Amino acid sequence: MDGQVRTQVEETTSQPADGSTSSPTNGAGPSSSEPGSIDPEGSLAARLGHLGQAVPPPLIADLWLFPPLPDVESSAEFLLFTRIVEDDVRALYSARLVPANGKPAHQVVVEHGRAPADRVSKLVSGLQRRLGGSAPPRHVPIEGDQERWQALLDRAREGESGD
C-alpha cells in the first residue's frame, strides 16, 4: 500500500463503492435519510445503514470501530472497514463524520488502497499506533455475512436506545 494509495471520496448516499446501483434498503435496514427512519441522524446505527447502502454488506469483510477522533465531536466513532475484492485481497476504507458549514455533519467514505487480506490486521495496528489512542478499536468480522451485518446494526440500535 505504501506509495500506491488511491483515494476516492464519496458521501455514503452516493453510488455504491462496487459501482452497482443499490436500493434504499439494500439489506442494511432503514437509515436516517429515508422517510420513516428509525435511526437518529449521525447515530452509529444511521451511519452503518448509510455504509450498507454505499458498500453492500455481502462485500464487507471486517469493520473496526475506533474511539472518537480528537477533532470530531465525541459521539462520532471513526470506522475502518474492508471490502472483499478477491478471496485474498481487501480494499481498505474509512468512514467518518465531517462537519459542513453549520449543517449537521455528514459521513464521508474514503478508499485508501488495497492490501492482501492477511496484512490488514497489521495495517490496522499501525493506524491505531499513529492515531495515538490508548483504547483499541472494536473489531467486528462480517465476512460478507448478511446476518452478522444485521446483528451489528441491531446491537448499535439497542446501544443507542439504552442511552
Range of the domain at 48: 8-161
Count of Cβ atoms closer than 10 Å to residue 85 Cβ? 15
Q: Which of 64, 56, 45 is nearest to 15 (CA)?
A: 56
| 61: amino acid identity, one letter | A
Q: Is 42 exposed, middle or buried (0-12, 13-18, 19+ CB in 10 A)?
A: middle
- Cα 97 to Cα 31, 38, 71, 115: the distances in Å are 15, 19, 10, 25
For residues 78 and 69, the answer to whether their CB atoms sit within 8 Å is: yes
What pLDDT was estimated at residue 70?
65
pTM for this model (two decimals): 0.72
What pLDDT was estimated at residue 85?
95
What pLDDT was estimated at residue 37?
54
* Grid coordinates of 16: 455504491
Q: Tell whether 1 is covered by a domain.
A: no
Number of domain units in the chain: 1
DSSP category for residue 59: G
Q: Tell whether 128 is covered by a domain.
A: yes
Ranges of the chain whose pLDDT falls below 70? 1-37, 69-76, 104, 133-134, 162-163
Q: Tell whether 63 is covered by a domain.
A: yes
The CA distance from 4 to 109, in Å, is 19
Q: Tell whether 76 is covered by a domain.
A: yes
Q: Tell whether 2 is covered by a domain.
A: no
Q: Tell whether 3 is covered by a domain.
A: no
What pLDDT was estimated at residue 69?
66
Q: Tell whether 43 is covered by a domain.
A: yes
